[in-house]
Amino acid sequence: MTEAVAPIRLAVSESLVSQVNLNDARAAMQVWLKRMSQDLNIPIEFSPRVFDTSEEILRRARAGQFDAVALNVIEYREIADALDPGHVIAESDGEQYLLLTKSAGPVRRLSDLRGKRLTVLRAPRMCLAAPWLANLLKEGQLGESDQFFASISSDLKPSRVVLPVFFGQADACITSRRGFETMSELNPQVARDLTVIARSPELVVTFYTFHKNYHGVSRERFAKVYADMPASAAGRQLATLFQFQGLAVKEVSCLAPSLAILETSDRHRTGAAR
C-alpha cells in the first residue's frame, strides 16, 4: 500500500492583496491552489479565509504551522530565522521605485521639493517606498517626510499618482518603474514631460519561501508549478490579478538591497531617538 504524501501547509499574507478586491483575490487564489494541488498531486492546506494577517504570519512561523509562505520583505525580516536561509521564489525582474517631477519645472533635485506636494503609489510591492524616501531625506539632511513636504497623498492607481504631476496638480510622485513604463507606452507625452530625480535599486519585495524545517519532496515541484504559471488559465488569472509575470527560484541574497533599506531606516530612527 502506497504511503500517503503529507499535504503542503501554505500561508499567504494579506499584505499581498491590498491593491485588489479581497473577494476576487480569494476566488482567484482558490482556483489556483486547486490547480496546484492537481499538478503536484499533493493536497494543499490553507486558511479558510485564504489570506492571513501579518500578525498571523509571524505567529504561525514561530509555531512552525506552515511549510511554505507568501509574504513581503518587511514580514520576512521579522521571521527570517524561521525561514529557508537559501532560496526564495520571486519574480525574475525586481521592482524599482522612481521619484518623478516635471522636466521643465523648478525641481532639479530632492532638496528642491521642500514645501511641495508629493503623491505616492500605494500597492503591495511599494511597501518599501516610505523607508526608501525617508533614507533619501536623512542622507540629504532634509528632515522627516511629513515636515519636509507640504502634503503627501497616495492612490492605488499609477495614473492617479503620475498624472497630477503631469498636469501640475502635484510637484512630484513616487511610483514603480513598471507602472511608469506602462503609462509612457500609452501616452509618450508623459515620458517626455517627466524626469527621474531619484531611483531605488532593483528590489525583491514580495515572494514565496519555505519554513526552515520543511524538507518535503514536493519543494522542487512546488517551485516548478509557479515557474510554469503562464501555461495555465488559473495561473494567468492570478498573475493578472496580482500584476506579476512568472516566478523563479532565486538565492536569498537577492533580498539584500531590500533588507539594506530597512536596516538603514532603523539606524536613522535609532540615531534620531538618541
Q: Which domains does the chain have, with CATH numbers?
A: 8-93+204-264 (3.40.190.10), 97-201 (3.40.190.10)
pLDDT score of 19 = 63
Question: Model's pTM, two decimal places?
Answer: 0.90
- Cα distances (angstroms) measured from residue 193 to each of 93, 234, 237: 26, 39, 34
Residue among 109, 112, 84 at smallest CA distance from 209: 84
SS3 state of residue 153: strand
Separation CA 119–CA 112 (nearest Å):
16
- Predicted pLDDT at 190: 94
> Which segments of 133-239 are extended strands (E)?
151-155, 172-176, 194-199, 206-210
In whole angstroms, give the CA distance from residue 57 to residue 78: 10
For the chain, the first-to-last Cα distance in angstroms comes to 66
Q: Along the chain (274 residues), what's the average pLDDT of each consecutive run of 10 residues?
A: 69 83 84 84 87 95 94 97 94 92 93 97 94 97 95 94 96 95 92 96 95 84 78 74 77 97 91 59
All three cell numbers of 83, joined, read 525561514
